[in-house]
Amino acid sequence: MARPIWKGAISFGMVSIPVSLFTAASSKDISFNMLHDECKARVKQVRRCPVHEKDLTADEIVKGFEYSKGQYVVLTDEDFEKVALPSKHTIEVTAFVEADEIDPVYYERSYYIQPEDLGVKPYALLMRAMEDKKLTALAKIAMRNRESLCALRAANGSLLLETLYYADEVQVEKPHKVDDVELSDRELGMAHSLIDLLAEHFEPAKYQDEYRGALMQVIESKLTGLEMVTAPEPETGKVIDLMAALKASVEAAKKRAADEPIAAAGGR
């Protein structure tokens, strides 16, 4: 089983729930090493001191906060431990809000919350009460040398913690609004029809990282010496007939919807 990245307690009024946090998601991006083009040797990431003109090991490096140009306050691991924050060991629930009040732009990372043996019943109580009320809890948690605002929500019989960006971390520049663009009833009706045809329940397993798969094909073709065929690029920047494009999209969606039951039957 994975190791917890944080251990502490959820504080819910006078109730304390001992819990552990586990990472809920991780990227599966294909990673690459940087190589010297001439000899293909792996390039080293070097941390070099410009004063002593030498490469440094990890134990020779400390963390410094620049309080003025070229002037630093050095902090040690002990200094970070001295930071007096209740959220270092306790997730104190301070409010409950409607989930749709939190704009998705504020969500950062997701973690599973697992109760310790002594916390199973109060954990279940909090989860059930939140489900009944359809509310999300707000709290703070300190880990990895920072304190984060976080949201706790009930999901599939357990609690999920999601760290949130603070208001001053979210870009204040808003995209250009298009509320004043004139749209005909026919255009809106056709767009509504297309949306209705494509509406379905979200099934995460249905979606795959096609870029990763295609990239692996490129890698395998280079290993085996086979020639890859490049897919044609879609045309962009052309002025389109909006109604014609909508009608074609609706027809394509109808055909796909009609073909899917046949494909499903053939796969049985």
Domain boundaries in the chain? 6-27+82-167, 183-199+239-268
pLDDT in tens, the chain (268 residues): 678 999 999 998 888 999 999 998 888 888 889 998 989 899 988 899 999 999 999 999 999 999 899 899 998 888 877 776 767 889 999 999 999 999 999 999 999 999 999 899 999 999 999 999 999 999 999 887 789 999 999 988 999 999 999 999 988 666 677 778 888 898 889 889 988 888 888 887 887 878 788 777 877 887 787 765 565 565 555 656 778 888 888 888 888 888 776 555 555 4
Contact between 30 and 130 under an 8 Å Cβ cutoff? The reply is no
Q: What is the C-alpha separation between 259 and 268, in angstroms, rounded?
A: 15
Domain 6-27+82-167 top-level CATH class? mainly beta
Nearest residue to 151 (alpha-carbon basis) of 114, 115, 102, 116: 102
The structure tokens listed for 204 are 């995460």
* CA–CA distance, 134 with 116 (Å, rounded to integer): 25
b/e map 244-267, b = 16+ CB within 10 Å:
eebeebbeebeeeeeeeeeeeeee
Sheet holding 95-97, edge to edge: 90-92, 6-12, 15-23, 107-115, 158-164, 146-155, 136-143, 95-97
Which residues lie across from 147 on neighbouring strands? 142
3-class DSSP state for residue 13? coil
Burial class (CB in 10 A: 0-12, 13-18, 19+), 154: buried
H or E element at residue 141: strand 136-143
